[in-house]
Structure 1
Amino acid sequence: MAVAHELSRTEARRVAVRAQLLTADRPTDLLELVEHLTILQLDQTNAVAPSADLVAWSRLGSAFRPADLEDALAEGRLVELDGRARPAGDIALFRAEMAAWPGVGEPKEWEHHVAQWVRDNDECRRDILEALRADGPLPARALPDTCVRPWRSSGWNDHKNVQRLLAMMVQRGEVAAAGREGRDRLWDLADRIYPDDPVVPLEEAARQRAARRLRSLGIARARAAVTPGEPNDVGEAGEPAVVEGLPGKWRVDPAYLDTAPFAGRTALLSPLDRLVFDRKRMTEIFAFDYQLEMYKPVEKRRWGYWAMPILHGDRLVGKLDASADRPEGAFVVHAVHEDEPFDAATTAAVRAEIEELARWLDLDLVMPPGTSGG
């Protein structure tokens, strides 16, 4: 059995920051960035800018243009799967899982339920495939709803038969996202979107995906709570580690150990950034108190609708509550929440990054008198 690496909290934080390419040594190429991070979450919330654009900007700097991401998706160099932009070459790591839909082994109750629902609506599934074959890419609203058994849920997705069926057809590897038309996602046959690469067998694909995930995270739990979308755990990837003051074992990518001296910087992060997306890991390693509050009533928010975590060196030190008022041409800072009072150097670094974000957005910076961090 391998001897576990012993890491201090500081060392664990620095591994995580290095792995997420948030040190002073910035990446310069969008495709190489996504290849390393493995995903950019394509959430359309635009309080400041879409999350994928913020993640790319926080690494690449203001040389990044959102059109670069749009072009990479349109040209097939990146591919959207499950609402995330991924390197086209990674799709081969999902094809065996798609072929095994709804799951491997004895079906769970929910897997049996959705599989039966798809079987009951097989004629509609075939109608959708035929419409896409003839006229795709198409938005969901242009696809036929010939379902004989409506989708029933707790209420959120009731009567959204085509949308639910499309989601399952993506999981089956039959259809794929093919860009957007305004806010509408377009759909097409998966064979027209995905590269024709050899399918990686299921177990080997799971191993490679876990290894790539750990490379992008640096340090993670072998097992973690299940969250929607990309997993937070890494199985047996990497090597075992223990972190001072934290219970249990971790897995660490040894490539980030015994490296050059740490050179940090200041960064404003999307609330969906992978550095903070696993809130339990964030709390354990960074001791950072944070929640995305966009779904909370205004009176219950502590930090703001789309408060952006602030990274300074190897610490998460506060939250930026700001919004882009595009009709007025303004980037409005409502507050800079300091977890502990900033010293002069931190205040200056955070202010410089806020100014850079406003320039990148091509908006005038508005910081009302008395705004914290102003």
Structure 2
Amino acid sequence: MHQLTRDQARRLAVQAQLLDADRPDDVVGIAEQLGAIKIDPTATIAPAEHTILWSRIGPTYDRGQLAKAVESDRLLFEFDGAFRPVSLLPLMLPAMRRWPRRESSRQWLEANDAFRIEILARLHAEGPLLASEIPDTAQVARPPDGWYGPNQVVHMLDFLQRQGEVAIVGREGRHRRWDLAERVYPQGLPEYAEEEAERLLNERRLQAAGIAKQKSPWTPVGEAGEPAVVEGMRQKWRVDPEALAALENDPGGRVAFLSPYDGMLFDRPRLRELFDFDYVLEQFKPKPQRRFGYFAHPILLGDRFVGMLDAEVDREREELRVTAVHEFVPFDEDELEMIHAEITDLGRWLGVDVPEW
């Protein structure tokens, strides 16, 4: 049983998320470590997938690196709203083959079997297609909700992706282009039994987290890693032993602005327990109820969350407009200088000016 201080626990999390002073420079390597790079079009600063990579690599990150890794090299693939390394695909396939578990989803698929066959036949004959290029001939419709409109083609393609029958081959703007999975995913992948695949997935989740609660529904890691306790806490934790060993060569911290969809922020209970950071995304709150801004980016300084950056790119004026830097505790002179420097680097990466604020 490892005995950890809270400082050590936080550093484990920061290092596992590649947010320490030792910046990586390889998009695929980052995806291998993080497991997933969230895709989201909200671009007050930049889309989430690019902000997440910039937060790790810094101003040398080129957006073309991600497109090359996904569409040319095929070392990353898009699934369920995130780019993932191909090394995870064989671990995901056993669960994909038994999807769906929900009875209502099974019934919808059964009722639309002819629709499903039509889509697969069209992709087989015509190659990669946008959803808008496929006729909607569904026999039974799912009602629109907050994420989907009335077009049943989008529903069916997402269902078929979850079953491993179709895959996203690329994008045109924000629109996904689909093809048969057998023509997108690499052939000859290793085969795993479902139990073994889940065990290996748990190890990869812990690798990305560094430390996670043993029974966390946010970061399910099962029995991966080794048991640990954190000072002042009663919960049982699991730690990645390789990450723990790497603490001996801690490169130190830095400033990082995190997209609201960054994986570092996903496990909200862990943020509260280890970082004393009660994070709330205010994007969907009415304006009068927002404290920090519509899409404010949390500011990580070393192993502490110290504030929120409320900023937006003004496309017409070609400048990064900083509305506010909210300080949880007043910054000292050195901290303020570091945050200013990171804002300057952000503007340089975006290719826009940064007016005084």
Using the size of structure 2 for normalisation, the TM-score is 0.95
Gaps of 5+ in 2: none
Gaps of 5+ in 1: 104-110, 226-230, 369-374
Count of aligned residue pairs for this structure pair: 353
> In the alignment, does 2:214 pair up with 1:217?
no
> Do the aligned partners of 2:212 and 2:219 also contact (CA within 8 Å) in 1?
yes
Partner of 1:67: 64
Q: Cα RMSD between the aligned structures?
A: 1.5
Q: CA deviation at 1:160?
A: 3.2
Partner of 2:175: 184
Q: Deviations over 1:103-155 (max 9, x none)?
A: 4xxxxxxx111111101100110111111112231111111211111113667
Change (3 A) 1:69 1:154: closer
Q: CA deviation at 1:262?
A: 4.9
Tell me how far apart the structure 1 counterparts of residues 104 and 144 of structure 2 sit (CA, whole Å): 12
What SS does the corresponding residue of 1:199 show, helix, strand or coil? coil
Partner of 1:360: 349
Q: Deviations over 1:328-356 (max 9, x none)?
A: 20101000010000011110001100110
Tell me how far apart the structure 2 counterparts of residues 181 and 158 of structure 1 sit (CA, whole Å): 19
What SS does the corresponding residue of 1:350 show, helix, strand or coil? helix
Partner of 2:81: 83
Q: CA deviation at 1:50?
A: 1.0
Change (3 A) 1:342 1:260: same
What SS does the corresponding residue of 2:317 show, helix, strand or coil? coil
Tell me how far apart the structure 2 counterparts of residues 303 and 155 of structure 1 sit (CA, whole Å): 25
Percent same amino acid among aligned pairs? 45
Q: Deviations over 1:285-343 (max 9, x none)?
A: 10013211111111111111111111111111111000111222010100001000001
Q: CA deviation at 1:206?
A: 0.8
> Do the aligned partners of 1:309 and 1:319 also contact (CA within 8 Å) in 2?
yes
Change (3 A) 1:67 1:158: closer
> In the alignment, does 2:228 pair up with 1:241?
yes
Paired AA for residue 116 in structure 1: Q
Tell me how far apart the structure 1 counterparts of residues 333 and 146 of structure 2 sit (CA, whole Å): 51
Which of 7, 14, 36 is residue 10 of structure 1 equivalent to?
Answer: 7
Paired AA for residue 288 in structure 1: F
Partner of 1:95: 93
> In the alignment, does 2:267 pair up with 1:278?
yes
Tell me how far apart the structure 2 counterparts of residues 217 and 160 of structure 1 sit (CA, whole Å): 37
Q: CA deviation at 1:37?
A: 1.2
> Where does 1:133-282 land on structure 2 (aligned, <5 Å)?
133-152=124-143, 157=148, 159-196=150-187, 197-225=189-217, 232-258=219-245, 259-282=248-271
Q: Deviations over 1:69-114 (max 9, x none)?
A: 01111121211111111112221111111111224xxxxxxx1111
Q: CA deviation at 1:30?
A: 1.4
What SS does the corresponding residue of 1:346 show, helix, strand or coil? helix
